């Protein structure tokens, strides 16, 4: 059996009882360390689970899926995923591959930022399409996601913005070499995301305004979780500390209960 197990929002104890029981019986357990990160390290997980984990980096997840699935037709193999297994299309691909190979599989769900974002007080059914904001560089500055934010806003819906992370990204110089060299990990902050959005607003001169109300979230579910509400312009100056961060662009017409709840976080 092949298992994809959600680990929840970040703490090693967020795993479900069902998930933990499966982890302890599997012959191999992979920890996906590409699409998101845990607030605790791999060693803490291994200690809590009572077993060794195989860290699956970007190369293994994207290019070695068949190696991860190998043997799961006759033995139990698990892939651990931060959040919920269906929070990223990468994991949907594993299910499709298992189906093609006739491998039985089971999904163990858990909390993710997609539903935990409700901690800020905005009602989940008032969110539109979720978007991702990527890091820019000198030659690549995409802004197509901005149109989706505007479309949500025009429909009076909130937009959850998932912010880019760079983990084990090869340097450009090493791509032509036999030995890969990697850039230091980077995790986009709400401040960086706000700065990029403000630049897009300046470019397009249309859509949302710089004073649009938004909410910054950091380390949702952790003891040091932080939530701040303010204008997009003000968010470009806000420091919420370490990762992971998410940004919400609120719709134009907040429900009175949303307003009342958000007041505790507003600066």
Q: What is the per-residue pLDDT across 230-252, written as a single tens digit (0 to 9) for each?
A: 999 999 999 999 999 999 999 99
- Alpha carbons 187 and 133: distance in angstroms, whole number: 11
pLDDT in tens, the chain (267 residues): 999 999 998 788 999 999 999 999 999 999 986 666 677 778 889 999 999 999 887 777 777 788 889 888 899 999 999 899 988 777 888 899 999 999 999 999 999 999 999 999 999 999 999 999 999 988 899 999 999 999 999 999 999 999 998 877 777 766 677 777 777 888 999 999 999 999 999 999 999 999 999 999 999 998 899 999 999 999 999 999 999 999 999 999 999 999 999 999 998
Radius of gyration in angstroms for the set of CA atoms belonging to the chain, rounded to a whole number: 20
Residue 55: per-residue pLDDT:
87
Contact 125, 229 (CB under 8 A): no
- Alpha carbons 203 and 200: distance in angstroms, whole number: 5
Residue 216: per-residue pLDDT:
98
Residue 215: per-residue pLDDT:
98
- Alpha carbons 237 and 235: distance in angstroms, whole number: 5
- Global pTM? 0.90
Residue 171: per-residue pLDDT:
73
What residues contact 11, with CB distance under 8 A and at least 6 apart? 38, 39, 40, 221, 222
Residue 35: per-residue pLDDT:
60
Joined together, the tokens standing for residue 45 give 């997980």
- Alpha carbons 84 and 4: distance in angstroms, whole number: 9
Residue 36: per-residue pLDDT:
65
Long-range contacts: 261-265, Cβ < 8 Å, 24+?
A: 261/120, 261/121, 262/120, 262/121, 262/122, 262/215, 262/229, 265/120, 265/121, 265/215, 265/227, 265/228, 265/229
Residue 34: per-residue pLDDT:
63
Residue 21: per-residue pLDDT:
96
Residue 90: per-residue pLDDT:
73
Joined together, the tokens standing for residue 62 give 């994207």
């Amino acid at each position: 059996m092949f298992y994809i197990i959600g680990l929840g929002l970040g703490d090693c104890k967020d795993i479900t009882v069902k998930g933990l029981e499966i982890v302890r019986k599997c012959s191999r357990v992979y920890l996906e360390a590409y699409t998101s990160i845990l607030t605790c390290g791999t060693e803490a997980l291994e200690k809590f689970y009572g077993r060794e984990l195989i860290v699956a980096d970007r190369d293994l997840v994207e290019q070695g899926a068949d190696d991860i699935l190998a043997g799961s037709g006759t033995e139990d193999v698990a892939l651990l995923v931060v959040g919920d297994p269906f929070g990223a299309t990468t994991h949907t691909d594993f299910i499709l591959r298992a189906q093609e190979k006739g491998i039985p599989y089971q999904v163990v769900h858990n909390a993710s930022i997609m539903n935990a974002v409700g901690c800020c007080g905005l009602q989940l059914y008032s969110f539109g399409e979720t978007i991702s904001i990527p890091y820019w560089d000198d030659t690549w500055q995409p802004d197509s996601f901005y149109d989706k934010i505007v479309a949500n806003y025009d429909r009076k819906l909130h937009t959850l913005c998932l912010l880019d992370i760079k983990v084990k990204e090869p340097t450009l110089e090493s791509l032509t070499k036999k030995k890969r060299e990697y850039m230091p990990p980077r995790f986009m902050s709400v401040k960086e995301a706000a700065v990029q959005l403000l630049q897009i607003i300046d470019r397009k001169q249309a859509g949302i305004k710089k004073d649009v109300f938004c909410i910054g979230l950091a380390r949702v579910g952790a003891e040091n979780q932080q939530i701040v509400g303010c204008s997009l312009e003000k968010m470009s100056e806000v420091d919420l500390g370490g990762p992971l961060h998410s940004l919400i662009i609120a719709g134009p017409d907040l429900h009175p209960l949303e307003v009342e709840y958000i007041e505790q976080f507003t600066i």
